[in-house]
């Protein structure tokens, strides 16, 4: 349920500079497109013929890359008016930008083939309501890409403070204040179990370890760059699946693809294949 003490983060791109980092956002988009391509079994023009929506699009870089991947029609949805204004000015010729709350998406039932919800849930007041809306608008055979931060990831990504997301709200507020990085801690993360509950009613495939073990196949080299990345890839590609599953509770980010149907990943075999996420 939504927390009554929180309000929506309007104009997010005005105070979060990362949303305007074009190079970084396009790298994230390349990873998203690659994961969707593997799930759909498409190597080129991954989204050809499909209607796609990026929920929480802000300045529109990811939505633009979704359009470039061949989407028949692409929407970018957000409440970030300055971000949407910038997005429409640059990409309005190929992406339709809509100012709308994720809890009331302006689309008919079963009208969107591919939805992207990438690192958004921790910023919204009621992620469960947005998930319900995305289930409503997703076609019966559609796919939903979910980039999800884990509460038990040691380093909090927005403020770079260890264990920040572990703390109850009052202590987290005090921590970021003492660090001098913010007046309060807005974000609310969930554990893997909580995220599984949030995705209830969908079949979910976990692409976290496939991407980490074969980053070149998923444009994921920024996850572990350089020598660290090569070492991580070598280790992760060889680890027994049981060991990897044991690490899941503390992985900082999950990359999931969810469907309403019994659809399965259609891409090529991988050293660490996508795993189904057990429903709750």
Q: Is the pLDDT of residue 188 over 90?
A: yes
Three-state DSSP at 160 gives: coil
Distance between first and last Cα of the chain: 17
Q: Which pLDDT value is given to residue 14?
A: 44
Q: Is the pLDDT of residue 66 over 90?
A: yes
Q: Is the pLDDT of residue 143 over 80?
A: yes
Q: Which residue has the tokens 């992760």?
A: 236
Mean pLDDT on 193-219: 93
Q: Which pLDDT value is given to residue 222?
A: 59
Three-state DSSP at 52 gives: strand
Q: Is the pLDDT of residue 2 over 70?
A: no
Q: How confident is the model at residue 221 (pLDDT cuts 50, 70, 90)?
A: low
Q: Which pLDDT value is given to residue 3?
A: 43
Q: Which pLDDT value is given to residue 4?
A: 43
Q: Which pLDDT value is given to residue 194?
A: 97
Give the residue with greater pLDDT, 136 vs 81: 136
d(CA 172, CA 187): 10
Chain-wide mean pLDDT for the chain? 90
Q: Which of 94, 14, 37 is nearest to 60 (CA)?
A: 94
Mean pLDDT on 257-267: 97
Q: Which pLDDT value is given to residue 5?
A: 59
Q: Is the pLDDT of residue 54 over 90?
A: yes
d(CA 220, CA 11): 28
Q: Which pLDDT value is given to residue 239?
A: 85
Mean pLDDT on 211-225: 77
Which tokens is 112 given? 């969107």
Q: Which pLDDT value is given to residue 35?
A: 97
Q: Which pLDDT value is given to residue 126?
A: 95
Range of weakest confidence among 96-110, 238-252, 264-278: 238-252
């Amino acid at each position: 349920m939504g927390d009554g003490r929180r309000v929506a983060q309007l104009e997010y791109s005005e105070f979060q500079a990362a949303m305007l980092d074009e190079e970084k956002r396009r790298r994230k988009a390349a990873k998203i497109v690659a994961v969707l391509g593997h799930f759909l079994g498409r190597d080129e023009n991954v989204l050809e013929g499909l209607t796609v929506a990026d929920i929480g699009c802000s300045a529109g870089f990811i939505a633009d890359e979704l359009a470039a991947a061949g989407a028949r029609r692409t929407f970018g949805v957000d409440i970030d008016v300055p971000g949407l204004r910038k997005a429409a000015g640059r990409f309005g010729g190929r992406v339709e930008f809509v100012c709308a709350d994720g809890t009331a998406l302006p689309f008919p039932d079963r009208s969107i083939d591919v939805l992207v919800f990438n690192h958004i849930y921790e910023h919204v007041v009621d992620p469960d309501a947005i998930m319900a809306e995305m289930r409503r608008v997703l076609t019966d055979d559609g796919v939903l890409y979910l980039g999800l931060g884990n509460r038990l990831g040691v380093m909090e990504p927005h403020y770079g403070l260890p264990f920040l997301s572990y703390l109850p709200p009052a202590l987290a507020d005090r921590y970021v204040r003492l660090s001098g990085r913010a007046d309060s801690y807005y974000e609310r993360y969930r554990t893997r179990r909580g995220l599984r509950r949030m995705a209830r009613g969908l079949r979910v495939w976990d692409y976290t370890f496939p991407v980490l073990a074969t980053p070149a196949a998923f444009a994921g080299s920024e996850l572990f760059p350089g020598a660290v990345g090569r070492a991580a890839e070598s280790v992760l590609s060889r680890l027994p699946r049981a060991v990897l599953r044991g690490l899941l509770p503390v992985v900082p980010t999950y990359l999931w693809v969810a469907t309403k149907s019994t659809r399965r990943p259609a891409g090529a075999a991988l050293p660490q294949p996508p795993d189904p996420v057990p429903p709750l």
